[in-house]
Chains A and B, each alone.
Chain A
């Protein structure tokens, strides 16, 4: 659902960070905000409880490259991971273009990871979309905590759909893996956008070919009528 504005020459994408409670979604945005140059970022807004748990969402607007005169803008959101906030997660997912699924690598969080992933799929279906249409990547966070589950196992339980998506290991508190993840999802969105535009370009060519054919035909018909 990217938004294209031909007057401001802007293309906007909405990226949502999803995952179980305390997996590190907000920490990803905090780190991104600390690194991106002033000119390319807005304020990081957090609607959180007094205990720093996300209550509604975090929001960080980023301006990326200008391509062929079009500014590309990425709006990053996090959802609240706590199970009880599902109604809020559904609101935040509205018009999403891309998803970063952040998982907690600790063994005892595996069930919550799986549950949260299922919840993401269900909430997308409620919006009439699915992970077949929405580009996404996976981040296995908290690799610094003792005895994290191995990546191939995490891939096996969380990255097991028809198409394996890019996955990254992360330590969001120190920034490790955070930009690799962000760049991967941003690139997927731009690539999808480029593909869709190619299709639109082909359609347009077909349309103009058909309309000139129609003009030619009506010319023949007119000539026939005159005869």
Chain B
């Protein structure tokens, strides 16, 4: 057996440029500096809540001072009370459940379809030739404009609502995953060839993880898009759901109920975006970006 050199540290390796030169010159104590000089700096705990809370504060302040007419915008506490009443009387629960179900179903199917289309089009020229055009066409047609046709085709039942959401969701998933796939460094494909990776291993180990940042970005748009489509389908033609509840309230001039609906949409939207961001952080821990 040959003894192999097992030193564990490189001396002055090229990977991390020694930062000591200018520091010695400025005579600073040589402890690791806590903050990067350029870039956004360290993350604020729960920082993403600051903006929304600020908005809430302004709303509450304005209502308390009497600057905001309650007929235009009910006070936060009125909205909270109304929301509680709706919940107590059992009117909110079923609507919320129906909306959540549509959201989840539409999102899941949309993500799967978008993903399959992106992989087909990202990995095969024929796939791209067939898939990419129609997706780009769909991208330029707003869901609202498709609605009359979808209504004619699928009627006003659940199917039409889910399909509308799916159509909204698959676009961002497709665009960002496809882009992520195509921007994977070609040198990794070269490596895969020298290692004689099978097609399956290549997709599983190189393509999908490499496209994951793109996919997750698409996921954030998809979640938002799913809520937006939900609002649209529930307000155009529905007999249940949060949107329907708001529509009904609108005809009776019940501002507080409308706001309850809006707040629910906002909370659900923010909540689901937060979940995606948490997944993003965990799944992309191999990266070092300005985010960290």
**Do A and B actually bind?**
no
Report B's interface with A, CB cutoff 8 A: none
Report A's interface with B, CB cutoff 8 A: none
